[in-house]
Amino acid sequence: MCVVEGPLAAEQPAPLMPVHSLRGSSAPSDRHGTLKRKHAQCAAAHADPDQQQRTSQLAATCSQRQAAAGSPLVGSGLDSAPLHTKAAPVSDSEIQTVPQFASRITRPVMAGTGIVQATPMTDSTALYAQQDWAALRDRLNEDGYLAIRNVLKPSDVIEARNFLLQQLHRMKPECFAPGSSVHEALAADGTASVGLLARQDLASAPRVAAVLEAPSVFALMRGLLHEEAVVTSGFKWLRAVARAEFTGLHTDRVFLGRGTEKLLTAWMPLGRVAPEGGSLLVAAGSHRLPAFAALRASYGQTQVGKDGTRSGWLSDNGAELGAAAGGTEIDWRVADCHPGEVVILGLDVLHMSASNESDPACIRLSCDTRWQPAAEPHDPRLKVWRTEGICSSGAHPPQ
């Protein structure tokens, strides 16, 4: 494993072009009407009184946040914002209404500034244990994602997590709750925009790189891509997410669509990440179903971020996706992750993170890593690529 060219700071993707989203086209009345219809559908689909109460409480939290934050979908173009946006704060009593997930149970989840009904992701661990690569590829093509446990050694993940938390504490001790253990990742009141994305030196530190570029992940990617030689980008999307922060709805193509069609993302939670802790949400099948064809042809073909900081999100409200897809019902799937789990995403599947509603408030650590066949064209904005002992520059001219 080696770096081909330049310091780590030079591995950041080059500036991208801006994109328009639902935020420039939805009127306030449409947004609130869609949200109310979604709440009504949720209540009708779940007759259990406790479930209805949880949905109503979460809807009230959502409405309060939207009122405090203004109308996020109104305006021209995109707001300048970092990838993680902070919603208006809520009280401890409100946070307690966010449900714990049980297997195969559909529950409401805070999807950015809105609410969606989400089902746990299909567990592909058995197929991975059997090394049934054909079946895994079929499922990835069908659903747009794979959730696989035990890809990484949990002890390695915890070691990387503890190292990152120690470094964060040295950088920003004010972000941690007074008197708490650093390894608990308990956030102080008002903590926001903790960061890590710019700290590529931490992403390449031996204890972290041992997880992000583990031999087991290379083996997984060789099987999924059906290639002997695979590479991973030197730049890593390392994130520390505070309470009430999230990543908006998007596809990876709008950020990294200038290279091969075979690009895969491996989302790695660095520690326990439950749905209420800001885990991953995927609109299953959105990469292939006809209902999403118009979105794939419009939003999906754009390039984003003229200054590298403007959001490329389709929306910051997951509840808006059904209306954007012609009124179709969205099959939302949510990850409930333990150390060692990896979620694989295709280039065109719509996804986002749930809002971090952890109680007590915790800092969520995770990382996105990118993978592709070594012989395929690389996105020219990513100059450095790595493999097990062999490097390639990945410097291809723009298509």
Read off the pLDDT of residues 257-273 as tens digits, 9 standing for 90 and up.
Answer: 999 999 999 999 999 99
What's the pLDDT score for residue 64? Answer: 62
Q: Under a CB-based contact definition with an 8 Å cutoff, are residues 117 and 349 in contact?
A: no
Which helix (H) or strand (E) segment holds residue 160: the answer is helix 154-171
What's the pLDDT score for residue 47? Answer: 42
Q: Count other C-beta atoms under 10 Å from residue 209's C-beta.
A: 16
Name which of 175, 150, 151 is nearest 165 in CA terms: 175
Give the total residue count for the chain. Answer: 399
What's the pLDDT score for residue 338? Answer: 96
Concatenating the DSSP letter of every residue in 322-362 gives HHHTTTPPP-EEE--B-TT-EEEE-SS--EEE--B--SS-B
Could you say which residues of the chain have pLDDT below 50?
A: 1-47, 70-102, 306-310, 390-399
What's the pLDDT score for residue 126? Answer: 97
Q: Can you point out the beta strands (E) in the chain?
A: 84-86, 107-111, 114-120, 145-148, 230-233, 237-241, 245-247, 264-269, 280-283, 332-334, 342-345, 351-353, 364-373, 385-386, 391-392
What's the pLDDT score for residue 388? Answer: 80
300: CB partners within 8 A, 6+ apart: 251, 253, 254, 348
Report the alpha-carbon distance of residue 23 to residue 320 in Å, rounded: 10
28: CB partners within 8 A, 6+ apart: 71, 73, 74
Q: Is 103 exposed, middle or buried (0-12, 13-18, 19+ CB in 10 A)?
A: exposed
Rg of the chain, C-alpha, whole Å: 20
What's the pLDDT score for residue 164? Answer: 98
Q: Count other C-beta atoms under 10 Å from residue 41's C-beta.
A: 13
Structure tokens at 395: 């410097």
Report the alpha-carbon distance of residue 268 to residue 157 in Å, rounded: 9
Q: Under a CB-based contact definition with an 8 Å cutoff, are residues 17 and 306 in contact?
A: yes
Peptide bond before residue 360 is cis, with ω within 30 degrees of 0 = yes
